[in-house]
Amino acid sequence: MQDRNILHPAAPSSLPVEVSHLTKSFGSFRALDDVSFSIAQGETVALLGRNGAGKSTLIGCLMGFLLAGGGSIDIFGHSIAALPREIRARTGFVPQTMTGFGSFRVAQLMDYIAAFYGELPPIDPALIAWADLDPKKQVRSLSGGQKQRLAIVLAMRHSPEFLVLDEPVASLDPHARRDFMNLLDTYTQRTGASILISSHILSDLERLCSRLLFVRQGHVVLDVPTETFRATTRWLEHPTPDRLLAALPADLQILGQRPDALLVHGWTGDLILPEGTLTVIPDFEDAFLEITAPRTPTETPDAAA
């Protein structure tokens, strides 16, 4: 039974994106379980998780490609399952791999996709310069990186107010990737657009994104501003972890555990810790691997606490 029929629109919201108690199953497998979050105007949110964590399923539900089993998704105050055309036109999507349209020439495909949005202003010269595509070339003759640049141009051509990017730079060379991240940063500052981006290139996300959304085994395990994550996430190392665990305040979130250390969120400099505790600032990739590592219920740090 569905928790809430997503065909019934929610009350209007001023938020570009609002997800509430979202679930999605494939047979007996629960891919998303009670997922809730929102994205405000101008926010750039990193969707972080390992392969199989539920990121692609979540993106599919957000874009209306998959029908959720329960909960709700509202885009600019409208249910995703009954999204008006004019609201959908305010969104954009960059897939991990572009497929189809092989017989189109580059310029022809740009014009074809643009026609769905009505009259548009001239395309951003910086976007065209970055893509560096021959307008007369057929899409099927493009390399993987060129197809990905074309997919990005098609998604951003109409200046969407909410843009979802699923591994957008996986097939780009380092130079093109760096330039695109700079271009995306400029775009969000200029337009105030809201962004949700999934990528395994963590250094890009840490620099670009204002919020971090960690997903593990279909659950959102941490939703936090990037600056807060940097300031309050620490490894606490102690030779006797049980003693350390017993001394921690109840409101301190335990994100991961090693034989001689705990990864915690909510750390402050005035935290009273057992003698001999060493506080270490985690490397972002190291923290990501610990937070997103698959766990059984008995291995969940919060359960241990």
pLDDT of residue 173 exceeding 60, the answer is yes
pLDDT of residue 300: 54
Q: Six-digit token pair at 53?
A: 């964590």
Beta strands 17-26; 261-265: pairing state: unpaired
167/298 same-domain check: no
Range ranked top by mean pLDDT from 104-118, 120-134, 219-233, 259-273:
219-233
Phi and psi for 41 in degrees, rounded to 5?
A: -60, 130
Asked if residues 192 and 42 have their Cβ atoms less than 8 Å apart, the reply is: yes
Per-residue tokens: 251: 């409101």
Give the range of the structural domain holding residue 261, as residue numbers without chain letter: 230-304
Do 198 and 272 belong to one domain? Answer: no
High-pLDDT (> 90) share of the chain, %: 71
Same domain, 41 and 187: yes
Of the residues 217, 252, 267, the one at which a domain ends:
217
In percent, the amount of the chain with pLDDT more than 70 equals 92
> Are 80 and 191 within one domain?
yes
Quick check: 78 pLDDT over 90?
yes
Q: Are residues 28 and 99 in the same domain?
A: yes
Largest Cα separation within the chain, whole Å, is: 69
Q: Could you tell me if residue 225 is inside a domain?
A: no
Lowest mean pLDDT among 113-117, 134-138, 299-303: 299-303
C-alpha distances out from residue 141 to 103, 136, 174, 198, 271, Å: 9, 11, 22, 27, 60
Give the span between the Cα atoms of 277 and 240, in whole angstroms: 9
Here the CATH number for the domain that contains residue 207 is 3.40.50.300
In the block, residue with structure tokens 């109409």: 158
Read off the pLDDT of residues 285-302 as tens digits, 9 standing for 90 and up: 999 999 999 877 655 555
54 pLDDT band, cuts 50/70/90, is very high
* Residue-level pLDDT at 294: 87
The region of weakest confidence among 109-113, 214-218, 265-269, 270-274 is 270-274
* pLDDT at residue 65, rounded to an integer: 94
Question: Please, which pLDDT band fits residue 11 given cuts at 50, 70 and 90?
Answer: very low
φ and ψ at 304, to 5 degrees?
-65, -30
